[in-house]
């Protein structure tokens, strides 16, 4: 990789190997714009592309990534290669430097218009733990679990950008010893640390996206916090699955890391036994396990380090499964991996597991204890992945604070 004329710290999570896309504004701006994070800066992509007369200027000049997502893989590759050239060719410095803004000056926004939203359940460790906690008298994994990536359709309209406050939801709950359900603020508000994927190029209704078609359709990855009210969920979910316990808010991180930046993070997924049906088999020599290291913090204290590489079903299999019945995907459709949990106690991606259903509260270094979230708590989920040449690919973080219920 050639050097940049821009001063970028060698260990920056936003070095030249990453170049994630997001939507930002500066104080006093008329509206948000598309940017690329580089070192301590954001490159105003639309302005730089217009100044350079780039053929893709229109696609990157909107107030969201929607135009870029819809443009398709050849354009994604062209934009990335062009930005890299701009940042490394000394002859380009004069034209590009005016379009760099300090990242500490900008506010980040929702990166794209969310179409449909699907949430999976693809960590074997998470599913096993949740099964044990919610259904102690049954086998922890349901009979279908190792044959298909289980998922449900979520509420796209309540996907919110990182930093948006999360109001504690109200709803029905009924504990095992309660004679009747009661209504009120959730007492078991939880998080779920997940990785999200956004579709760029749509697929045809009636067609299927094979496992090998993942990178032609999916633009990139980001972080997701699927806030969950466990008491509402436990009462409502039989037999149709999560509903109001998860539909009140889902937070996403502002930077979308393009799949091209994750080449060095690709790893073989765990061995699948039994072997899945043909349409779910990994494409030969094209593994889509991803070695992302997540970190979950509550009020600044690290409470978990979930490993994404351990996920049983890959995002390529999830997309293949989501479309195998002929259901199409559209630009802006997003899907989340499911809670990321590893085999160790310190690797669990939600409080339900970390505290084993609330029975073993966490002790935070500030002396307080948490079974579930309290009003005022701030949760941040971050992640990094290995990049080429020893570099680090940063995802930034998704954060949100809990506001009291509106009763
Ligand atoms: O097994 C259950 O009943 C509950 C599962 C979930 O909480 C669903 C979910 O959001 C999936 C996930 O994030 O892994
Ligand atoms: Ca979830
Ligand atoms: Mg949700």
Question: Which residue among 55, 83, 108 closes a domain?
Answer: 108
Residues 134 and 191 in one domain: yes
Helix, strand, or coil here: 285? coil
236 lines ligand 1 (CB under 6 A): no
Domain range enclosing 172 = 117-403
Residues 186 and 283 in one domain: yes
**Cβ-proximal residues to 47 (8 Å cutoff; 6+ apart), any chain:** 33, 99
Distances (CA, A) of 309 to 66, 125, 128, 195, 283: 29, 12, 17, 11, 17
Residues 88 and 46 in one domain: yes
Report which bound ligand comes closest to the CA of 232.
Answer: 1
Specify if 15 maps to a domain.
Answer: no
Of 397, 386, 398, 399, the closest CA to residue 18 belongs to 386
Tens-digit pLDDT string for the chain (407 aa):
889 999 999 999 999 999 999 999 999 988 999 999 999 999 999 999 999 999 999 999 999 999 999 999 999 999 999 999 999 999 999 999 999 999 999 999 999 999 999 999 999 999 999 999 989 999 999 999 999 999 999 999 999 999 999 999 999 999 989 999 999 999 999 999 999 999 999 999 999 999 999 999 999 999 999 999 999 999 999 999 999 999 999 999 999 999 999 999 999 999 999 999 999 999 988 999 999 999 999 999 999 999 999 999 999 999 999 999 999 999 999 999 999 999 999 999 999 999 999 999 999 999 999 999 999 999 999 999 999 999 999 999 999 999 999 98
Helix, strand, or coil here: 346? helix
Say what the pTM is. Answer: 0.98
Catalytic amino acids?
126
The total number of structural domains that make up the chain:
2
Residue among 234, 339, 352 to mutate when testing ligand 1 (max atoms within 8 A of CB):
339
Which residue's alpha carbon is at the smallest distance from atom 13 of ligand 1? 338
Q: For the stretch 15-42, what's the b/e string if a residue is b when 16 or more beta carbons lie within 10 angstroms of its beta carbon?
A: bbbbbbbbbbbeeeeeebbbbbbbbebb
Residues 191 and 126 in one domain: yes
129 lines ligand 1 (CB under 6 A): no
Residue 32 falls in which region: left (phi positive, over 0), alpha (psi -120 to 50) or beta: beta
Residues 146 and 267 in one domain: yes
Four-point Cα dihedral 134, 138, 140, 146, nearest 10: -130
CA distance 322 to 210: 10
Rounded distance from Cα 256 to ligand 2 centre (Å): 19
Which residues are registered as beta bridge partners of 296? Answer: 304, 381
Question: Which residue among 60, 75, 108 closes a domain?
Answer: 108
Helix, strand, or coil here: 79? helix
Residues 230 and 160 in one domain: yes
Residues 174 and 65 in one domain: no
């Amino acid at each position: 990789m050639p050097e940049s004329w821009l001063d970028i710290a060698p260990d920056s999570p936003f070095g030249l190997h990453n170049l994630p896309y997001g939507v930002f504004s500066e104080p006093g701006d008329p509206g948000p714009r598309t940017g690329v994070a580089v070192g301590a800066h954001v490159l105003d992509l639309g302005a730089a592309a217009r100044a350079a007369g780039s053929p893709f200027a229109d696609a990157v000049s909107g107030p969201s990534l929607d135009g870029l997502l819809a443009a398709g893989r050849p354009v994604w590759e062209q934009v990335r290669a062009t930005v890299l050239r701009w940042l490394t060719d000394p002859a380009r410095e004069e034209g590009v430097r005016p379009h760099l803004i300090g990242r500490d000056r900008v506010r980040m926004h929702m990166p794209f218009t969310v179409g449909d939203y699907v949430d999976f359940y693809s960590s074997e460790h998470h599913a096993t733990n949740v099964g044990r906690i919610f259904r102690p008298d049954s086998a922890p994994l349901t009979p279908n679990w190792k044959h298909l990536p289980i998922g449900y359709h979520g509420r796209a309209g309540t996907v919110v950008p990182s930093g948006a406050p999360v109001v504690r939801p109200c709803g029905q709950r009924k504990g095992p010893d309660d004679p009747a359900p009661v209504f009120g603020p959730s007492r078991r508000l939880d998080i779920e640390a997940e990785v999200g994927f956004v579709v760029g190029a749509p697929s045809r209704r009636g067609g299927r996206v094979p496992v090998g078609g993942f990178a032609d359709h999916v633009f990139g990855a980001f972080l997701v916090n699927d806030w969950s009210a466990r008491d509402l969920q436990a009462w409502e979910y039989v037999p149709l699955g999560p509903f109001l316990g998860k539909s009140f808010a889902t937070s996403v991180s502002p930077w979308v890391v393009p799949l091209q930046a994750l080449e060095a993070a690709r790893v073989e997924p765990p061995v699948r036994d039994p072997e899945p049906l043909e349409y779910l088999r990994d494409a030969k020599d094209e593994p889509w396990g991803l070695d992302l290291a997540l970190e979950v913090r509550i009020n600044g204290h690290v409470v978990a380090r979930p490993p994404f590489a351990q996920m049983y079903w890959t995002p390529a299999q999830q997309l293949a499964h989501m479309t195998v019945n002929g259901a199409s995907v559209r630009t802006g459709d997003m899907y989340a991996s499911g809670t990321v949990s590893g085999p160790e106690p310190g690797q669990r991606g939600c409080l339900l597991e970390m505290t084993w259903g609330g029975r073993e509260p966490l002790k935070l270094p500030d002396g307080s204890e948490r079974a579930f979230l309290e009003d005022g708590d701030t949760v941040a989920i971050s992640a990094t992945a290995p990049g080429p040449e020893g570099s680090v690919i940063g995802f930034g973080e998704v954060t949100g604070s809990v506001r009291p219920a509106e009763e």
